[in-house]
């Protein structure tokens, strides 16, 4: 991990303030640092680099846009269905009003339920 000059200066100021305020804690931290010097951080403790963060942000943006497009498509489909139901509902009522229930209906084979078998 590389730090710029300002961050290094801040860390040095924190370290010098710690040495002045609690020398025993500073000594314990120095022992810990020397013991852990050869160890590598696990991947889940690593900080993401700037390109990684940009990739993650782009991936989340693409996912959000995709979900938004799917939601809009569902909304448009629902509105179309409501409009069709409203238009077809009026037409279906006008068709059924002209027919009488006493007329026998025939199926595809020519069978008339009013005449029997």
What tens digit of pLDDT does each residue of 66-115 get?
999 999 999 999 999 999 988 887 676 555 555 555 555 555 566 666 66
Distance of alpha carbon 97 from alpha carbon 58, whole angstroms: 58
Give me the pLDDT at residue 43, please.
Answer: 80
The stretch 54-70 carries a mean pLDDT of: 96
Q: Give the chain's radius of gyration (CA, Å).
A: 38
Cα gap 84→90, rounded to integer Å: 10
Q: Residue 104 in contact with residue 113, Cβ under 8 Å?
A: yes
- pTM for this prediction: 0.40
Determine contact, residues 18/25, Cβ cutoff 8 Å: yes
Q: What is the mean pLDDT of residues 45-68?
A: 90
What are 104's two structure tokens?
């026998």
Among 9-18, 61-70, 96-105, whose mean pLDDT is lowest?
A: 96-105
pLDDT at 92: 60
Tokens, residue 67: 């979900």
């Amino acid at each position: 991990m590389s730090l710029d000059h300002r961050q290094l200066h801040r860390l040095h100021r924190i370290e010098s303030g710690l040495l002045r305020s609690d020398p025993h804690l500073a000594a314990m931290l120095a022992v810990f640092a020397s013991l852990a010097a050869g160890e590598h951080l696990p991947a889940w403790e690593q900080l993401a680099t700037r390109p990684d963060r940009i990739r993650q942000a782009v991936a989340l943006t693409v996912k959000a846009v995709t979900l938004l497009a799917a939601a809009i498509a569902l909304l448009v489909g629902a509105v179309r269905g409501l409009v069709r139901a409203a238009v077809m509902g009026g037409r279906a009522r006008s068709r059924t009003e002209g027919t009488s229930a006493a007329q026998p209906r025939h199926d595809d084979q020519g069978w008339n339920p009013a005449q029997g078998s």
